[in-house]
A and B are shown apart, each in its own frame.
Chain A
Amino acid sequence: MRYSMLLAVSLLSASTAAYAETVIGVSGALTGPAASSYAPAVEGLRLYVEQMNKAGGDSREKVKLLIQDDQGEASKAATNAKRLLQEGAKIIVSASLSSTYAPIIAEAKRSDIPVLFAGSVCPKEVFPPAEKLLFCTTAFTAEYDSRAAVDFIKEIKGTNTKVGLGAMAIPVSRGGIDFAEEYAKKLGMNVVEKQIIPPNASDYMPFATKIKSTEPNVVYSWAPWINQIRTFEALRKLDWQSEFITWGHLEAENEMRRVRDRNLFIIGANTLFYEDLPIHKEIVSAATAAGSAFNPNQMAEGWIAGMTVEEVLRVVGRDASSEKILSTMQNLKVDVKGLRGGPIEFTPDNHFRKTQYYRIFRWDVSQSKIVTVKNWFKYDITATAR
């Protein structure tokens, strides 16, 4: 045990090198069961920072990104936060499960350091009235997503329709779907089924059977991707062919290509890489050059986080102290160059964004490609989605 202490001490002293740089700490679910949803985001951030440092040369401060794996576990996240703060992190970026939030927030509060949630679900404290230290650039936020999806259902199916809902038995998914139920009913829809599926389920047929047995005209699911896609595929196996609307997680674009179903609708806040915008080309070339293990089209969240960090540091200028960084973040506008429908905008009251933009995609069988079904539509962010 003493040996490890020596090792740790030597590690720490070796890392506090002597050149001017701003330390940004990241605690992410790089490995562990949830990793596929978060690791690519962290990788995107890493590549962005690398690129940013190279481009800046000696004319500005560099960013030192310290990345720690928390495997989606609260205990590890707590230790990571302590460590990162000890190494002088001026911002902590979180890309992990919501169960890791409380310890990270607690540590950050103790040191008065801001926390940026990038890629992980936005805690309610970033919505108005926002907590001073908490910020979020993540695309999804269950309740507004559900509202947008249900509004879309109203467009394609009308309000006189039978709606089935699917969630995973984790708090954020349940919360989102509970809201969807409430909102759909308010619009006059008939919610025939709300299936909450245990996280470790292996065989989705019984759950899909239950949903199908209530004969919905359309099904909406908001949950981790694997739950969404398995529910969908099981419904299809049961020969239920109607519209299935679901959230566009990182995996969505590739999976749409794999599944090639014309009635699988993906609702998302990020543009998809098939549109091949300049920003997409940039991400792809950075990823390819670095020989990254992850698919570039899953890195948007990390890139957006990187852009946000860069903008913060650009505004702050030289000698980025944690107070300056925090006050800059209270009023920030970041142009994400087409990755989203609009900019990231923080105000003292709103640390999510002023407006949330959504788009809906599906696979077009005749053209054999992904198409946009409904172009950007938006919601102004107030305290809750109600």
Chain B
Amino acid sequence: MQWQLCVNILALTALYALVCCGYVLIYRVSRVLNMAHGELMLLGAYGLFATTSQVTNNPLLAITVAALLSILIGVVTYHILMRKLTGSDVLAAVLTTIAIGILIRGLVVLIWTAQPQHPGEMLGLNNPTLPVFGVARISLYTAILIGLTALVYISLFIFLRYGSWGIRLRAAGQNPLLASQRGINLHAVFAFAWAISTFTASMAGMIVAIDTALDSTMVMIGLKAFPAALVGGLDSLLGALIGSFTIALIEVLLIQHVDPLLSDVVPFLVLIVMLFIRPWGLFGTREKLDRV
């Protein structure tokens, strides 16, 4: 039983972490909280559904096309909607992301109806249960999710530290004015952050859709990832990992040993407590605290 709990915690951690890195990237470069992240996850999953039903039945091809589509959506979203707001009120930018979220929710139902879908089965993908250490079980695609999250994080760590665009991203996040004066194209950097963010969200959405099903409850994952992002620190990738782990641990243990209903609300209680005692999270940049 303990092994199964470990597997569950690992799976939930991976899911939250993959979703959180999108929040972190955008927040880090532009201090904008992308409230439409959950909806972008949903859109990505529907992208896979659309590709599968309209273009090709080949899984690898479908996923690749859907992933590219999501990157395109990220860049386009930034260019058309967010770019005009760069530099001005972060408030307006966040409000715009809320509006984008609403728009996506409406469009998704308009185009594809509210019926749950099963893209995994449409692609003929098998999702067998694999044994772990003999007693525990994990489905193939949950395992893939864990692997993908690990891959994404390792890549991001290396990229941000050594990649030329990664350095630009960090620079833009630390001091946008200075960065642009040094010749860094802020708009390109922001668009890039959005692209990566949408890409990771879509991948998460696609895998969840293949692993279980594609329906509107996916958007809640975006909201429930907030405590994870905040506990870790909104601008720290390492924080996102640790935060996700913490929240996943709490949720799974609550369900197993206390009361499943609490698993919905306790993460948010943890969020509030964090705000009281250490608002910038475990690994975030220390913010200036006004004395009340």
Contacts and interface: CB of A to CB of B under 8 A. Distances in A.
A36 B5 contact: no
Interface in A263-313: 293
Given A31-B114, A203-B11, A258 B256 contact: no
A63 B116 CA distance: 33
Contacts of A261: none
Nearest to B129: A237
A206 B8 contact: yes
Contacts of B139: 237
Interface range on chain A: under 10, 10 to 19, 20 to 34, or 35 or more?
A: 20 to 34
B260 A209 contact: no
A32 B140 CA distance: 32
Contacts, number: 82
Contact of B260 (A35, A205, A210): A210
A207 B114 contact: no
A237 B137 contact: yes
Interface residues of B, number: 38
B261 A206 contact: no
A169 B261 contact: yes
B260 A230 contact: no
B118 A202 contact: no
B217 interface: yes
Contacts of B113: 293
Contacts of B8: 203, 205-206, 209
A226 B215 contact: yes
A233 B224 CA distance: 22
A231 to B, nearest CB: 11
A209 B4 contact: yes
Given A35-B114, A209-B5, A237-B137, A202 B208 contact: yes
B15 A203 contact: yes
Interface in A29-56: 31, 33, 35-36
B129 A258 contact: no
Interface string B1-15: 100110010011001
8 A-B pairs with the lowest CB-CB distances in the bound complex, closest first? A198-B264, A206-B255, A200-B220, A206-B252, A202-B221, A237-B139, A238-B137, A239-B137
Interface of A: 31, 33, 35-36, 169, 195-198, 200-207, 209-210, 213, 226, 230, 233, 236-239, 258, 293
